[in-house]
Amino acid sequence: MPELPEVETVCRGLRKKLKSQRLEKCVLNRKNLRFEIPQNLPNLVKNQHLESITRRSKYVLLNLQNGQTLIIHLGMSGRLIFTPLLSATTKHDHVEFHFSKEKLVFNDPRRFGVVDICPTANLPHHKLLAFLGPEPLEEDFSPTYLKAKCAGKKAAIKNVVMDSKTVVGVGNIYANEALFDAGILPTRAAGSLKKKEIEKLTTAIKETLHRAIAAGGSSLNDYVQTDGSLGYFQHQFKVYGREKAPCTVCKAPLQKSVIGQRSSFFCPNCQV
């Protein structure tokens, strides 16, 4: 399940491979994913050089020479994989981007992903990008900012941190891990967090994401890098998926509960 570190890893893989390459053509093998894929997309991208590859939240942005930007979201199970131009289409290969030496295939069994196109100048107004909060690894995601966002909120801090209007890119896995590192129970009302706790949480989110990016992301079920290799941050999980296993700090059995319909893992001893 791609979260920010996985998407960042994918972007880095794309940059390495696609530096100043030309997108020769795009093939749509189906007309919709989570949303409908614009039918004129292949025409808009044909024979365009890639100016740059950027990321906003979990969206991969391929900026083209002609002022258009391809928007790709991996959803739950999406993959972007390089394969030889002549290799056969496999199940769930929904969109193919053909370059001179190989093709980049968007494969997504659950089809929660997105492929869209938008004039680069209009990106800030795109419906999927317009209302996003700050990037977690940027300066504007600060304790001061998070404190203001949490003020007066009764919702669980875990839900607030996973809300893309608060901060983008923090999914279930990294929310669990960051809350553990910060020593805060996921169920705590956001507005009840003290200044010190907000500071710890802000730091924990940034550090967790940095460590995960350094490990190439986490490979659970679906995620792989663009060359098919696995991320390995999942071996560093302290709480996620470790129900009843001993806490890495105090050895107490970790607990699992459902918060906002998401599995949440925590240490009842270390987190308050």
Of the two residues 86 and 131, which places its CB atom closer to DNA in the complex?
Answer: 131
Q: Does 12 bind DNA (CB under 7 A)?
A: no
Beta carbon of residue 34, minimum distance to DNA (angstroms, whole number): 6
Q: Does 155 bind DNA (CB under 7 A)?
A: yes
* 3-class DSSP string for the chain: CCCHHHHHHHHHHHHHHHCCCEECEEEECCCECCCECCCCHHHHHCCEEEEEEEEECCEEEEEECCCEEEEEECCCCCEEEEEECCCCCCCCEEEEEECCCEEEEEECCCCCCEEEEEEHHHHHHCCCCCCCCCCCCCCCCCHHHHHHHHCCCCCEHHHHHHCCCCCCCCCHHHHHHHHHHHCCCCCCEHHHCCHHHHHHHHHHHHHHHHHHHHCCCCCCCCCCCCCCCCCCHHHHCCCCCCCCCECCCCCCECEEEEECCEEEEECCCCCC
Segment near DNA (CB under 7 A); pick from 45-53, 154-162, 204-212, 225-233: 154-162
Which of positions 211-240 make contact with DNA (CB under 7 A)?
Answer: 221
Q: Does 154 bind DNA (CB under 7 A)?
A: yes
Beta carbon of residue 193, minimum distance to DNA (angstroms, whole number): 13
Of the two residues 82 and 240, which places its CB atom closer to DNA in the complex?
Answer: 240
Query: What amino acid positions are annotated as catalytic residues?
Result: 2-3, 58, 262
From the list 9, 107, 172, 202, which residue makes contact with DNA (rule: CB under 7 A)?
172
Beta carbon of residue 205, minimum distance to DNA (angstroms, whole number): 14
Which of positions 29-88 make contact with DNA (CB under 7 A)?
Answer: 32, 34, 57-58, 73, 75-77
Q: Does 3 bind DNA (CB under 7 A)?
A: yes
Q: Does 156 bind DNA (CB under 7 A)?
A: yes
Q: Does 112 bind DNA (CB under 7 A)?
A: yes
What number of chain residues touch DNA (CB under 7 A)?
A: 35
Would you say 249 and 267 are in contact if contact means Cβ atoms under 8 Å apart?
yes
Q: Using CB under 7 A as the criterion, which residues of the chain lie in contact with DNA when the complex forms?
A: 1-3, 32, 34, 57-58, 73, 75-77, 91-92, 109-112, 127-128, 153-156, 159, 162, 164, 171-173, 190, 221, 260-263
